[in-house]
Amino acid sequence: MNQDQILKIVKRWKIKKAPEYRGFRCAKCQKPLRKAWHVWLGKGGFKLEVHFCKKCFKKVKYEF
């Protein structure tokens, strides 16, 4: 996956200083997930695992 596209998604998040513990949510649509596609982002000062539902993963994958 293209790191620039993932970075655009992550920059839309409202990141809090304190850690937030919750179940998986899709990075793009925010749907709660039990299963997720895991993609690592290592760009723009971020180093984190980003999760996508199957539908958004396919959509984002083909936008590149």
Cα end-to-end distance, the chain, whole Å: 7
CA–CA separation, 51 and 37 (whole Å): 6
**DSSP E strand stretches across 11-58:** 37-41, 48-52
Per-residue pLDDT averaged across 22-45, rounded? 86
Mean pLDDT, the chain, integer: 83
User: CB atoms < 10 A from the CB of 24, how many?
Assistant: 16
Domain boundaries, the chain: 3-12+23-63
pLDDT tens for each residue of 4-28: 888 888 888 887 788 776 788 899 9
- Does 62 have pLDDT greater than 70? no
Query: Which has the higher per-residue pLDDT, 55 or 60?
Result: 55
User: CB atoms < 10 A from the CB of 44, how many?
Assistant: 13
- Are the beta carbons of 24 and 34 closer than 8 angstroms? yes
Per-residue pLDDT averaged across 41-63, rounded? 83
